[in-house]
Structure 1
Amino acid sequence: MEPGDVREAQGFDRGGRRMRPRPVQPEPAPPPVPSFAEGLWTTADVANLCRVSEGCVKHWRFSRTGPPYAKVGRHVRYLPDDVRAWLADQWNCDPEGMDS
Structure 2
Amino acid sequence: MVAIHHLPLASARGQWCVVSPSATDAQMQANIDWLCSRGHVDCIPIKPGGPCFEPDNLRSHVSFVMNQYYQFNGRADKACYFDNTGIFVFKDPSYGDCEYDY
TM-score w.r.t. structure 2 length? 0.27
- Which of the pair has more CA radius of gyration? 1
The TM-score, its normalising length taken from structure 1, stands at 0.28
